[in-house]
Amino acid sequence: MTSFLDVDRRGRVLEITLNRQDKRNALNQEMCEALVAHCEIAEADESVGAIYLRAVGQVFCSGMDLDEAMSSNAVEVTAVHGRLFSLGSRLTKPIVCAVQGPALGGGLGLVANAHVAIASHGTSFGLTEIRIGMWPYAIYRSIEYALGPRRAMELTLSSKIFNTPEALAWGLVQEVVPPFELEERGEAIAYALASAPTGTIQRGMRFVHESRHLNDTDAMALALRERAVNFSSLDFEEGIKAFREKRQPRWPLHP
C-alpha cells in the first residue's frame, strides 16, 4: 500500500515495519492510512493471531510529518489520525511493539496503542508537541491509559524527554533489553501471543474495551455474561482437556 512500510506475513503474525528513514520515520498521511488498513485487515482475518510493529533506522518514529501537516487536507489527516491512535482500544488482536531510538509525539502514541511494548536500552520518549504550540489531542487518551492521568498531564506540559528506566517504571513498556536482543525478543512475544487461544483473547480484549466506560455494576454484569460464554467455548473445552491429559493444547482457531 505504501513504500514507507515493510509488511510481511509469517505464520500467524503480521509484521509491520516503519521504513521512512530519511524522514526519521515521521508519520505522513499515506503512512498512517496504510498502517490503519493493514491492522484492520489483520483484525478481520481469523488466521492472524498478532500484529508485530517495529521500525528500521536510528529513530523509531519522530511523530507527525510537520511539513505535510502545514499543507495537507486537515480533515483527511485528522480522520486518519483518529483511526490510527484508537487502534489499541478497537482491535482485539494483540499489537506488540518493539521500540529502538526516539519515539516522540505520534511515535509515543504508537507505543501507547500497543498492547505489549518492549524497548532497547537507550531508547527515549517524549510528548514534545507543546514546544511547537500544539497539544497532543489525537494521542492523549491512549497516553493517559498507558501512563495514568497525572503522568500524562505532566509529560505533556513539560515536554521533557524520558528514557527506558522511566518508561519501564511507569508501565509504558513491559520489558527493556539490549539492542541486539530487541528483534529476537519482540518476535518471541508476538509469536507466543499468536499461538495462544485467539477466540479467548478476542473476547477478553473486547470486554476490556467495552467495560472501560461502564460503572462497576454494569462492568461486573458484562464480565459475568462474558465468562459464561467463555465457559462454553471450544477454547475452554480444549484447554481443560489438554490440562487433564498433560499435553499442549490444540486451539480450534489455528489453521
119 in Cβ contact with 167 (< 8 Å): yes
Cell of 5: 512500510
What gap in Å lies between CA 125 and CA 43, rounded to an integer? 28
Give me the residues of the chain with pLDDT under 70, please. 1-2, 71-72, 252-255
Q: Which residues contact 246 (CB under 8 A, 6 or more apart)?
A: none
Q: Which residues contact 127 (CB under 8 A, 6 or more apart)?
A: 104, 105, 108, 136, 139, 143, 152, 155, 156, 159
pLDDT at 77: 83
Query: What confidence tens digit (pLDDT) does each residue in 168-187 have?
Result: 999 999 999 999 999 999 99
pLDDT at 255: 43
Query: Measuring CA to CA, which residue among 198, 253, 209, 238 is closest to residue 51?
Result: 198
Give this prediction's pTM.
Answer: 0.93
pLDDT at 56: 97
Per the listing, cell 479467548 goes with 200
pLDDT at 67: 80
In sequence order, what are the beta bridge partners of 162?
Answer: 125
Query: Measuring CA to CA, which residue among 39, 44, 55, 57 is closest to residue 1?
Result: 39
Q: Mean pLDDT over all residues of the chain?
A: 94
For residue 28, what are the CA distances in angstroms to 5, 38, 140, 185? 12, 16, 19, 29
CB-CB neighbours of 8 under 10 Å: 10
Query: Measuring CA to CA, which residue among 112, 126, 123, 127 is closest to residue 57?
Result: 123
